[in-house]
Amino acid sequence: MPEPAVVFDKVSKKFRRGERHDSLRDAITMAIKSPFVNRRRADSLEAQEFWALRDVSFEVRPGEALGIIGPNGAGKSTALKLLTKILRPTMGQCHVRGRVGALIEISAGFHGDLTGRENLYLQGAILGMTRPEVTRKLDEIIDFAGIRPFIDTPVKRYSSGMNARLGFAIAAHIEPDVLLIDEVLAVGDFIFQQKCFAKLQEFRKSGAAVVFVSHNMQAIVSLCDRALLLRPGREALLADVGTAAELYATPEGEVIDPRITVTDVSLTETGSGERLNRDIVPHAALTLAATITANVALPRCRVGFEIIRSDGMVMFSGSPMVGERSPIDLEPGMTISFRVDFRANVLRGSYRIALHVLDSNNLWHPIDISGLASFVVHETTRIAGCTEVEPEYELRVSTPSASLSGRA
């Protein structure tokens, strides 16, 4: 078995609220201050300090792809910045072997006053490419990025999508042993995203190790073997990608808003009373039930219901409290028992169900319960799309009559 290309060994990272992260500049400042600062244990927290990552371990071998998932603030980008040595771990060790291609921030390493072509050489040098190597791959990189008409324009005039195109194209063509990608690809258009995912698959087949941070669960599931689920204040989970993605789509995977408590959650096939534990076919009848308890006063609230595809597309959004139905004034300790029967008129894919508790007057911030339950639709007769239209086909094949076939 080959040696790991990426090693993250019992890594912890803490920050102080209101303080700069420890970049090289901050490290120099701290080195000057250190003789005058009282020593303290690395594993303890002082006032205003918090753990961004706590005792996280994983390895990625050549040809493997690891997805890092979790809610905002869980430490996903911090993990990549530790691997690229932008940040230093508070405890533990992390390193990569071989040439690294990294795309963590859209315009990281770009100089706004330089043109795309000039930044291509600059970024290539930062990533370890020689000038002749960049020149040899110049046209290939520009064509992949799809910005040839603007390659001699200063990048400060580029859109975020153009910056992402150029940044990924450079990182993808240095022939890396390890590729580190953050969510920045989300700013690209659909066609460019598909090019990127195809390129990532090529890297895997060529033996490169890939670490991929994304909220796009469809991309994570299709690309990665395993996934690391990070949750603020909770132990990280490293598992096969299906297990991690399934947990992420439940209340266990995300932090529920402290203003409410959600209990008695169930998703069943309508009438069965048994929790859904298998794939379903389009048009299957499902029932969602949940109890929401208010921990604080929530005046004028409404409850909304959503079905969201794994790529983030909202397939349905509705509420039983529209029209003439008045909002509810919830006091601490009061509960809402929510139940909805619906049909999964959607095509193949993974879907999660979300509830929203909203203020009719928008005076308090909405409460999103984004990982309440999930279901998977599996079918074999549909090719593409997002909804089930229950087609009934009629297909006839006929041959020319004998008289017609004998004519000149």
Q: What is the pLDDT of residue 171?
A: 79
- Crossing angle (nearest 10°) for helices 160-172 and 116-126: 40
145 vs 22, residue with greater confidence: 145
Instruction: Pick the range with the lowest mean pLDDT from 64-68, 131-135, 373-377.
Output: 373-377
Q: 369: closest CA among 251, 286, 263?
A: 251
276 vs 35, residue with greater confidence: 276
Instruction: Pick the range with the lowest mean pLDDT from 209-223, 259-273, 344-358.
Output: 209-223
Q: What is the pLDDT of residue 39?
A: 46
Domains and CATH numbers, the chain: 6-247 (3.40.50.300), 251-377 (2.70.50.60)
Q: What is the pLDDT of residue 408?
A: 44
390 vs 285, residue with greater confidence: 285
267 vs 323, residue with greater confidence: 267
Q: What is the pLDDT of residue 224?
A: 86
Which phi and psi angles does 145 have, rounded to 5°?
-70, -25
Q: What is the pLDDT of residue 279?
A: 80
Mean pLDDT calculated for residue range 159-184: 83
In Å, how far are 291, 317, 354 from 249, measured between CA atoms?
18, 17, 9
313 vs 30, residue with greater confidence: 313
Structure tokens at 198: 């195809």
Mean pLDDT calculated for residue range 227-236: 86
The DSSP secondary structure of 145-187, one letter per residue, reads: HT-GGGTTSBGGGS-HHHHHHHHHHHHHTS--SEEEE-GGGGG
For residue 362, what pLDDT band results from cuts at 50, 70 and 90?
A: confident
Q: Which of 74-101 are b and which e, b meaning 16 or more Cβ less than 10 Å from the residue's Cβ?
A: bbbbbbbbbbeebbebbebebebeeebb
Mean pLDDT calculated for residue range 185-198: 71
User: Of all helices (H) and strands (E), which one includes residue 221?
Assistant: helix 217-223
pTM more than 0.95: no
Amino acid sitting at position 221: V
**What's the full length of the chain, in residues?**
408
For residue 240, what pLDDT band results from cuts at 50, 70 and 90?
A: confident
Q: What is the pLDDT of residue 37?
A: 45
Residue 298, pLDDT > 90, answer: yes
Residue 259, pLDDT > 60, answer: yes
Structure tokens at 333: 């300790």
Most confident range, picked from 71-75, 164-168, 303-307:
303-307
Q: What is the pLDDT of residue 58?
A: 95
Mean pLDDT calculated for residue range 364-389: 78
User: Of all helices (H) and strands (E), which one includes residue 369?
Assistant: strand 367-377
Which phi and psi angles does 309 have, rounded to 5°?
-75, 160
What does the pLDDT look like over 11-59, one tens digit per residue? 999 988 765 555 555 555 555 554 554 445 667 777 778 888 999 999 9
Average pLDDT, the chain: 82
Most confident range, picked from 233-242, 292-301, 374-383:
292-301
Which phi and psi angles does 90 have, rounded to 5°?
-70, -40
